[in-house]
Amino acid sequence: MAGAYDDRDGFIWVDGAFVPWRDAKVHVLTHALHYASSVFEGERCYEGNIFKSREHTERLLKSCDYLDIPHPFTADEIEAAKVATLAKNGFTDAYVRPVIWRGSGPDMGVASSRNPVHLAIAVWEWGAYYGDAKMKGAKLDISAWKRPSPETIPSFAKAAGLYMICTMSKHAAEAKGCSDALMMDYRGYVAEATGANVFFVKGEEVHTPKPDCFLNGITRQTVVQMLKERGVKVVERHIEPAEMEGFEQCWLTGTAAEVTPVGSIGDYSFEVGALTRSIAGDYEKLVRGRLAAA
């Protein structure tokens, strides 16, 4: 599928009904457009099965709770709607995007409790998020923006407004010829990329930032479990930026990123080593149901 995202064939599920893709629109005074009262999920369907679909749906509704947004549909209804949307569009391999937002209504200020809450689900074909980086390793910039303290934002929600600095960081990175940017947290520790968690290899151990002020990704949790089942020691801790000089390998995890090797972060270089390639390969098998049980 090519072209602008508002000019495509297909159908989007909106509040319980299928709407032709080009007709799925909202009013310019939609509350979410002005005040970011929106949460969403990113999911992938492989050969007809959405990987960890229920976990994504439960996180979507939990994000609503963090932002004080009422649930417009139950988890069971959302699960059924995702399956129906894939079938309606004829996809067995696709990216799945549910989004919940406060629409236009009686309130057009910061408060919006009287405005209706909507749910839409769109699906489309989407290849590798970082292009050919899965072979040679992604090149990352180091962002000037930091992940904020959880006392200032609902950092454990997958909320639209939290991605503003991610967009700015990724734009700055792309202007330098990089695929993405690594962000530090408000204390100066290594946090995550703009839309993916990060892992480092040092000797026989894997180190990854402790997710105490950013999203503990579902793919991140999956990879941690895969490593532990292999007998690899996983150390979740605060990581100082200067420590990157001593790490040998690095990869990113996320629904869009899947498991993507990293070749460099700023002035720090990493090899696309055996463990990185092995985990990436096993993750690919796992999501397609081809990984034998440990």
Angle at 73 between CA 253 and CA 256, to 5 degrees: 15
What kind of fold does domain 11-124 have according to CATH?
D-amino Acid Aminotransferase; Chain A, domain 1 (3.30.470)
Report the Cα 138 to chain-centroid distance in Å.
Answer: 17
pTM: 0.94
**For 212-270, how does the pLDDT look when each residue is reduced to its tens digit (9 = 90+)?**
999 999 999 999 999 999 999 999 999 999 999 999 999 999 999 999 999 999 999 99
Which residue did the predictor score with more confidence, 131 or 50? 50
Tens digits of residue pLDDT in 94-112: 999 999 999 999 999 999 9
Is 158 among the catalytic positions? yes
159-177 mean pLDDT? 97
Q: What is the pLDDT of residues 236-245, one digit of tens each?
A: 999 999 999 9
Could you read off the pLDDT of 30-47 as tens digits, one per residue?
999 999 999 999 999 999
HSE-CB of 205 using CA atoms within 13 angstroms = 10
Identify the active-site residue in 52, 134, 158, 170.
158
- How far apart CA 39 and CA 58 sit, in angstroms, is 12
Q: Where are the domains of the chain?
A: 11-124, 133-287
Q: Which CATH number fits domain 133-287: 1.10.1420.10, 3.40.50.300, 3.20.10.10, 3.40.630.10?
A: 3.20.10.10
Helix axes 75-89, 53-66, angle to 10 degrees: 120
E strand intervals along the chain: 11-14, 17-20, 38-40, 43-46, 49-50, 94-102, 117-124, 138-147, 180-185, 190-193, 197-202, 205-209, 233-237, 249-254, 258-265, 268-269
